[in-house]
Amino acid sequence: MSKTYRVVAWSTGNVGRHAIAGIDARPDLELVGLWVSNPDKVGKDAGDLAGLDRTLGVTATHDIDAVVALKPDVVVHTAMADDRLFEALADMQKLLHAGINVVSSGPVFLQYPYGVVDDSMIEPMLTAAREGGVSLFVNGVDPGFANDALPLVLTGVSERIDEVRCFEILNYNTYNQGMVLFDIMGFGRPIDEVPKILQPGVLTMAWGSVVRQLAAALDVELDSVDEWYERRPALETFEIDAGTIEKGTAAALHFEVRGMRNGRAVIVLEHVTRLHDDLAPEWPQPAGHGCYRVTVTGEPNYTLDLQLLGSDGDHNTAGLKATAMRLVNSIPAVVEGAPGLLTALDLPLVTGRGLVS
């Protein structure tokens, strides 16, 4: 009989509510607690906050000490970290130090931070995990599964590799997260205004971990990690779920984070983000409604498309669920793993054990 793990969900946002549904779906996981940032949600049932059709008998708290007192095996941390980086790190550090494993969707550089951020950003987390005798695993779909598990499996059937390229090709028009779209990515803002995500070094902090991890897995010593981007304006005013995109403002973004060796790109993370399907038709186009794509150029050449579509017909729902379930389904491996910071290179094959209906 498989072991049952006691789990606390941390947040009920775009990813968090899917994590709660995913925890409830797995027979080897028991939801014992829920932390929320919004005081208005305190005392409400997790099932209601996750939009399920039933209550789960677990009420929300805003007290981290109450979470620690539950002595869970693991916290599924899905709170937004981009706008509160050091607070998120402090929360996770406290949980780890208390002997609680953490699987988290951010900060994303922790999916493989080596060579990406200064050791001062890594060591406190490592120390807390080791002193607590527990593990930290940061992952998702991108950075995460779509650019660690998928490309590495594909390279396993290669004879020669000239380049590994991981794409995200998605329309974000139904992604209802204004802070990310407008404040971080700069959509809906003047096209000549450089947004936060395109400030020098930010792309590398966010996705350099993808390039560095693949390089480590493939035994490639990179000379540098470079950034490149281009943008396109809206051809007309239109609405998205998060608000209005005015004509002439930024409405499409194409960027690459390139791992360079001997003057050429050998490992590339490429994103094509549109808010309207008609924008920048010359850029890479998705398979289906939206996709994650891996190309391995060499002998032979491979192209792998992972198409996304939720049961509600929305590819963005599928992406959010993929992020949540990458974390939830990894819980047994992370809890049983060695103390410290775990990456995709440390985990065994993670499967949807127990999820066949």
Q: What is the pLDDT of residues 34-78, one digit of tens each?
A: 999 999 999 999 999 999 999 999 999 999 999 999 999 999 999
Shared domain for 38 and 88, answered yes or no, is yes
| Residue percentage of the chain with pLDDT more than 70 | 100
Shared domain for 124 and 194, answered yes or no, is no
The average confidence (pLDDT) of the chain is: 96
Look at residues 109, 127, 300 and name the one whose alpha carbon lies nearest to residue 213: 109
320 part of a folded domain: no
Res. 24 pLDDT band, cuts 50 70 90: very high
Shared domain for 107 and 210, answered yes or no, is no
Position 290 scores a pLDDT of 92
Shared domain for 134 and 183, answered yes or no, is no
User: What number is the average pLDDT over the span 317-330?
Assistant: 96
State the Cα–Cα distance between residues 162 and 13, nearest whole angstrom. Answer: 40
User: What number is the average pLDDT over the span 323-345?
Assistant: 98
Position 340 scores a pLDDT of 97
Answer whether residue 314 shows pLDDT above 80: yes
Q: How many residues does the chain have?
A: 357
348 part of a folded domain: no
Answer whether residue 289 shows pLDDT above 60: yes
Domain count, the chain: 2
269 part of a folded domain: yes
Position 85 scores a pLDDT of 87
Q: Is the dihedral of CA 253, 312, 44, 355 positive or negative?
A: negative
User: What number is the average pLDDT over the span 214-223?
Assistant: 98
Position 2 scores a pLDDT of 75
Shared domain for 76 and 96, answered yes or no, is yes
Shared domain for 154 and 259, answered yes or no, is yes
User: What number is the average pLDDT over the span 217-233?
Assistant: 98
Position 81 scores a pLDDT of 81
Position 210 scores a pLDDT of 96
Shared domain for 106 and 215, answered yes or no, is no
237 part of a folded domain: yes
353 part of a folded domain: no
349 part of a folded domain: no
- 270, burial (CB in 10 Å: exposed 0-12, middle 13-18, buried 19+): buried
State the Cα–Cα distance between residues 272 and 171, nearest whole angstrom. Answer: 8
Shared domain for 60 and 130, answered yes or no, is yes
Position 258 scores a pLDDT of 98
State the Cα–Cα distance between residues 159 and 86, nearest whole angstrom. Answer: 43
Position 182 scores a pLDDT of 97
Position 264 scores a pLDDT of 97
Answer whether residue 82 shows pLDDT above 90: no
Answer whether residue 142 shows pLDDT above 90: yes
319 part of a folded domain: no
Answer whether residue 1 shows pLDDT above 60: no
Backbone φ and ψ of 234, nearest 5°: -70, 135
Shared domain for 135 and 210, answered yes or no, is no
Answer whether residue 83 shows pLDDT above 80: no
Report the CATH number at residue 242.
3.30.360
Peptide bond into 143 cis (omega under 30): yes
226 part of a folded domain: yes
Res. 326 pLDDT band, cuts 50 70 90: very high
Residue with tokens 């010359």: 282
Shared domain for 235 and 184, answered yes or no, is yes
What is the extent of the structural domain holding 24? 5-139+330-342
Residues near 354 by beta carbon (within 8 Å), at least 6 away in sequence: 2, 26, 27, 28
Report the CATH number at residue 85.
3.40.50.720
**In the numeric block, which tokens belong to residue 319?**
């992406």
Q: What is the pLDDT of residues 177-210, one digit of tens each?
A: 999 999 999 999 999 999 999 999 999 999 999 9
Shared domain for 104 and 184, answered yes or no, is no
Answer whether residue 323 shows pLDDT above 70: yes
Q: What is the pLDDT of residues 239-283, one digit of tens each?
A: 999 999 999 999 999 999 999 999 999 999 999 999 999 999 999
Shared domain for 163 and 308, answered yes or no, is yes
